Structure 1
Amino acid sequence: MKALIGAALLAAGRPVRAAELAQLLGVPETQARRQLQRYAEEVQAADLGFVVEEVAGGFRLVVLPALAQQLAPLLSPPPLPTLSGAALEVLAIIAYRQPVTRAEIEAMRGGSAGTVMTLQERELIKVVGRADAVGQPLLYGTTERFLLEFGLKSLADLPELLAEGAEFSQLLRG
């Protein structure tokens, strides 16, 4: 069972939900979670250079952060360029206020929300519906990739809002 859990987490290339793992193992979800917890503890104790991480509603194998720099030449594709301050502001507004319209974002920022397209291209945000207002403007929300990129299990893991005047870049852990 241990080998199957490890192989599933490695082969999936995405977070594997406990229910998927239970189906794969042919056991109830509670038992799959117990087996996964044991596996995670054994991997960590063995100091193999990776750990089991719970993120975006599932579990995946990740390289220890302390080893990431040394492994950089092996990683592909190269990481996306860092987000600008304006993009981080827009992303933080969407993350904390979703669903939200572009006009609401601009009102909160006191300026343009021109980075919305960039955030959509990076699959960090998506259109989640239309507002019940004149013109039915698009509503934006975050994606599963947002959770993955910022290492969050769910939106409930977002840090608490900071005091007025704090930098939006401090709100996200990515």
Structure 2
Amino acid sequence: MDKKEIKSLTEALLFVWGDPLSIKDICSVLNINKKYATTILNEMIEEFNITGRGLQIIQTNNSYQICTRPEHYPWISKLCTPKTNKGLTNTALETLSIIAYKQPITKAEIEAIRGVRCDRAIRYLIDKNLVMEVGKLDKPGRPRIFGTTEDFLRYFGIKNISELPNLNILDNESDEEAHEL
């Protein structure tokens, strides 16, 4: 297969799959190696961006997905009936940020940081598929360990956890803001 055909097939696979498709699955279906598939996908991402198409290819960890551009939301929303989507509460957002920055982390560790119980917030985040159980500690009671999901990355528009803002930068900015007031 030539490069043009591989790009065409890759676009078709991403479109039909809908959800993020792993690089491993793309390589398996197209019978190409990971390095070549990554090169092709990076070229496609750039081509989609340069040509200003209504769709974009996004990457989260080792998966790729075709989706609409966020700047087109006002027009797309006129066509689609939006689901009632409640945003995250402050409690859920605090709990989620602790999990994101400290993962893997137990419920007891989260509660120690927040100073209050967080059963409900964790359950809510699991239901929203932003957080998942990633294992259990080999300690008495076998406490569950939590971490973030691929949906978390997509929800916040980042490729991987390393793209989260540095907490030290956030602390410095809030200190500067406090001095300005």
**Pairwise TM-score range, normalised by the shorter structure:** 0.7 to 0.9
Give the C-alpha shift of residue 164 in structure 1: 8.0
Query: Is the 2:60–2:150 contact (alpha carbons within 8 Å) kept by the matching residues of 1?
Result: no
**Counterpart among 37, 42, 59 of residue 37 in structure 1:** 42
Structure 1 stretches of 5 or more lacking a match?
Answer: 167-174
Residues 130 and 17 (structure 1), Cα distance of their counterparts in 2 relative to 1, 3 Å cut: closer
1:76 and 1:100, CA in 2 relative to 1: closer, same or farther beyond 3 A?
farther
Question: Which 4+ stretches in 1 moved above 6 angstroms?
Answer: none
Answering whether residue 15 of structure 2 is matched by residue 10 of structure 1, we say: yes
Cα distance between partner residues in 2 of 1:76 and 1:122:
20
Return the offset for 1:18.
2.3
Q: Which has the higher contact order (CA 8 A, sep 6+)?
A: 1
Q: 2:178 is matched with which residue?
A: none
The structure in which a higher percent of residues are helix is 2
Which stretch has the larger CA shift, 116-125 or 83-92? 116-125
**Conservation of the 8 A alpha-carbon contact between 1:125 and 1:142:** yes
Scaled by the length of structure 1, the TM-score of the pair is 0.83
- For 1:136 and 1:3, how far apart are their aligned partners in 2? 48
Q: Does 1:54 align with 2:62?
A: no
CA distance in 1, matches of 2:27, 2:136: 37
Identity of aligned residues (%): 33
Distance 1:79 1:12 in 2: 25
Aligned partners of 1:99 and 1:45: how far apart in 2? 38
Residue aligning to 2:177: none
SS in 2 for 1:127: strand
Matched AA of 2:108: A
Q: Pick the structure with greater CA Rg.
A: 2
1:57-68 matched pairs, under 5 angstroms: 57-68=62-73
Residue identity in the other structure for 1:128: V
What is the CA RMSD across the aligned residues, in angstroms? 2.2
> Between Structure 1 and Structure 2, how many residues are aligned?
166
Shift in Å at residue 57 of structure 1? 2.2
C-alpha separation in 2, matches of 1:19 and 1:127: 24
Aligned-partner Cα distance in 1 for 2:44–2:50: 10
The letter for the 2-side match of 1:94 is I
